[in-house]
Amino acid sequence: MEGLTRSEVAKQCGVNIESLRYYEKRKLIDPPPRTRAGYRMYSQEDAVKIRFIKNARNLGFTLNEINDLMKLRVDRKKSCDSVLVKARKKREEVDQKIRDLKSMRKTLDQLIGKCEKSVLTNDCPILSSFESAKPGKKL
């Protein structure tokens, strides 16, 4: 039986072995056939799917979203429009996360600016802000 072992496909695709197990559990990839000795043997097609999953994850897609995208990939009759809609939605989510991160950074900058090294921790503005009714909001 030809193919790639679990460690070989993991290395080739830049994922860890636990990710492969998880992808199988989530039914993103089919369990590979085993050799007589019990080793799992992955095909190049499996490696393509695993890279697809990894690259989509790197762009922020969830495993459920990736599953949907993989179904679109195998349905040759679907237009790219449905993929475009999903990509635009993901971009909007990324843009919102960027705005949230910028707001968090601004708040942290304000807290850092208020903190003085000589202040005791029971008067620390950073720690006090965590106890406020509206944590993470503008100061």
pLDDT tens for residues 28-81? 999 999 999 999 999 999 999 999 999 999 999 999 999 999 998 887 777 889
Tell me the Cα Rg of the chain. Answer: 23
Per-residue pLDDT, averaged over 87-104, amounts to 97
- pTM summary value: 0.79
